[in-house]
Amino acid sequence: MQAASTLTYEEKMLRNYVPIFVMLPLGVITVDNVLEDKDKLVKELKELQAAGVDGVMIDVWWGIIESKGPKQYDWTAYRSLFQAVQECGLKLQAIMSFHQCGGNVGDVVTIPLPQWVLDIGESDPDIFYTNLKGNRNPEYLTLGVDNRCLLSGRTAVEIYSDYMKSFRENIADFLETGLIIDIEVGLGPAGELRYPSYPESQGWVFPGIGEFQCYDKYLQADFKEAATAAGHPEWELPDNAGEYNDTPESTEFFKSNGTYLTEKGKFFLTWYSNKLLSHGDQILDEANKAFVGCKLKLAAKVSGIHWWYKADNHAAELTAGYYNLKDRDGYRPIARMLSRHHAILNFTCLEMRDSEQSADAKSAPQELVQQVLSGGWRENIEVAGENALSRYDSTAYNQILLNARPNGINRDSQPKLRMYGVTYLRLSDELLQKTNLNLFKTFVKKMHADQDYCPDPEKYNHHLGPLERSKPEISIEHLLEATKAEDPFPWDKETDMKVSGGLLSNLIGKLFSLFK
DSSP run (H or E) holding 223:
helix 217-229
Q: Rounded to 5 degrees, what are φ and ψ at 500?
A: -105, 115
Mean pLDDT of all residues in 138-155: 98
328 is in an annotated binding site: no
Q: Measured between alpha carbons, how far is residue 319 from residues 45, 222, 316, 376 in Å?
A: 39, 18, 5, 22
Distance (Å, whole) CA 413 – CA 493: 22
Q: pLDDT tens-digit profile of 421-436?
A: 999 999 999 999 999 9
Mean pLDDT of all residues in 312-338: 98
Q: Return the number of other C-beta atoms located less than 10 Å from residue 52's C-beta.
A: 18
> Of 11, 19, 12, 18, which is closest to residue 410 (Cα–Cα)?
12
User: To the nearest whole percent, how much of the chain has pLDDT over 90?
Assistant: 93
Active-site position among 184, 286, 356, 386: 386
Distance (Å, whole) CA 136 – CA 138: 6
Mean pLDDT of all residues in 105-129: 93
pLDDT over 60 at 515, yes or no: no
Q: Report the amino acid identity of residue 108.
A: V
CB of 296 closer than 8 Å to CB of 467: yes
pLDDT over 60 at 113, yes or no: yes
Active site residue 169: no
Average pLDDT, the chain: 95
Distance (Å, whole) CA 273 – CA 181: 30
CA angle 147, 331, 189 (to 5 degrees): 50
133 is in an annotated binding site: no
Q: What pLDDT is attached to residue 73?
A: 98
pLDDT over 90 at 504, yes or no: no
Active site residue 252: no
pLDDT over 90 at 321, yes or no: yes
Q: Rounded to 5 degrees, what are φ and ψ at 459?
A: -70, -25
Give residue 102's pLDDT band: very low, low, confident or very high (50, 70, 90): confident
Q: Return the number of other C-beta atoms located less than 10 Å from residue 208's C-beta.
A: 22
Question: Sign of dihedral through CA atoms 144, 145, 149, 154?
Answer: negative
pLDDT over 80 at 253, yes or no: yes
Give residue 236's pLDDT band: very low, low, confident or very high (50, 70, 90): very high
Distance (Å, whole) CA 13 – CA 314: 40
CB of 196 closer than 8 Å to CB of 105: no
DSSP run (H or E) holding 61:
strand 55-61
483 is in an annotated binding site: no
Q: What pLDDT is attached to residue 5?
A: 66
pLDDT over 60 at 29, yes or no: yes
Q: pLDDT tens-digit profile of 383-423?
A: 999 999 999 999 999 999 999 999 999 999 899 999 999 99
Distance (Å, whole) CA 462 – CA 246: 45
Q: What pLDDT is attached to residue 85?
A: 98
pTM tops 0.75: yes
Active-site position among 192, 286, 351, 382: 192
438 is in an annotated binding site: no
Domains and CATH numbers, the chain: 9-513 (3.20.20.80)
CB of 38 closer than 8 Å to CB of 77: no
99 is in an annotated binding site: yes
Q: Return the number of other C-beta atoms located less than 10 Å from residue 64's C-beta.
A: 23
456 is in an annotated binding site: no
pLDDT over 90 at 86, yes or no: yes
Mean pLDDT of all residues in 354-381: 97
450 is in an annotated binding site: no
